Amino acid sequence: MVAKEIIVNGKVQGVGFRIFCQQYARLNHIKGYVKNLASMQVKIIAIGEINDMKNFIKKMRKGPNYGWVFNLEITDLTDYENYENFTIKY
């Protein structure tokens, strides 16, 4: 298992990014959450198997059709909660 904190920069608020993220997290068996930040970025906490995580991150780099992703700031986490699923936090 690997755990990542991912900060997404670009046009990622108001374009369905959180729903997009949740759908692909669930398809790739990723647990954790996604939430908007006041800085107009999106924060993702993602926990899953290495190959699932690679697929998930690849999709997050593309983003939804109505948005665009400038870059991802990815940090490995060593201390994290065990999540039961992937949720959207408000």
Helix (H, G, I), strand (E, B) or coil at 49: coil
The whole-angstrom separation of Cα 86 and Cα 44 is 10
The whole-angstrom separation of Cα 25 and Cα 75 is 17
Catalytic residue chosen out of the listed positions 36, 51, 61, 82: 36
List domains and CATH numbers for the chain: 2-89 (3.30.70.100)
Question: pTM (2 decimals)?
Answer: 0.96
Catalytic residue chosen out of the listed positions 9, 18, 51, 61: 18
Is 26 annotated as catalytic? no
Is 36 annotated as catalytic? yes
Structure tokens at 33: 């959450």
Average pLDDT per 10 consecutive residues for the chain, totaling 90 residues: 97 97 98 98 98 98 95 96 95
Q: How far is CA 20 from CA 39, 63, 80, 81, in A?
A: 20, 7, 23, 23
Q: Are 45 and 77 in contact, with CB atoms under 8 Å apart? A: yes
